[in-house]
Amino acid sequence: MGKYQLGEFEEVVMLTVAVLYDNAYGVSIKKEIEGRLDRKVSVGALQSALKRLEDKGYLSSKQGGASSDRGGRPKRFFTITSSGKEAIKQTKEMRDELWNAIPKPIWSLEFATVA
C-alpha cells in the first residue's frame, strides 16, 4: 500500500471537492454526495471528514465572504492540496490494480442468492 491512505468516505469527500472545484463548501459537498451517490450524509460526519483531511494536509480551506442568507456567517471553501492529489491518485491506482487482478472467469459465475 502507498504512503497515502484514505478511507472510503474520505475518498468520496476528496473526489467531491475535486468535482466542485472552486465551489466546494460544506452544504455543496453534502448535496453533491447525496445527489450523485444516493446516500445520506450527516453534517457531523462530513465536518469530521473535512477536518481529518485538512489535518492530514490533503485539503486546505479558506473563508469566503459573509452573506445575509447565512446569518452573516461566511462559507468555508475547500480545495485539494498537492498531497491530496497524490493521495487520490494512489487510491485510484490501488483500486485499479485490484480490479485488474480479478480473474476473468469470476464475471461469468452465477452467484447464489440468499433467500
Number of structural domains (the chain) is 1
pLDDT over 80 at 12, yes or no: yes
Buried b (16+ CB within 10 A) or exposed e, 8-37: ebbbbbbbbbeebeeebbeebbbebbeeee
- pLDDT category at 3 given cuts 50, 70, 90 is confident
What's the rounded mean pLDDT across residues 13-41? 96
Calculate the CA dihedral of residues 74, 41, 53, 28 and round it to 10 degrees. Answer: -40
Q: Do 46 and 27 form a contact (C-beta atoms < 8 A)?
A: no
Decide if 93 is inside a domain. Answer: yes
Helix, strand, coil percent values for the chain (each to nearest 5): 60, 15, 25
Over the stretch 47-81, which tens digit does the pLDDT of each residue have? Answer: 999 999 999 999 999 998 766 666 667 899 999 99
1 in any annotated domain: no
Q: How far apart are CA 71 and CA 41, in angstroms?
A: 23
Residue 111 pLDDT exceeds 90? no
- Residue 82 inside a domain? The answer is yes
Q: The domain containing residue 47 runs over which residues?
A: 8-108
CB atoms within 10 A of CB 110: 5
User: pLDDT per residue over 30-53, tens digit each?
Assistant: 999 999 999 999 999 999 999 999
> Cell match 484514505: residue?
6
Give the cell for residue 33: 454526495
Instruction: Establish if 42 belongs to a structural domain.
Output: yes
pLDDT of res. 69: 67
CATH number at residue 37: 1.10.10.10
Averaged pLDDT of the chain: 90
Predicted confidence (pLDDT) per residue in 84-110, tens digit: 999 999 999 999 999 999 998 887 877
Asked if the model's pLDDT at residue 26 lies above 80, the reply is yes
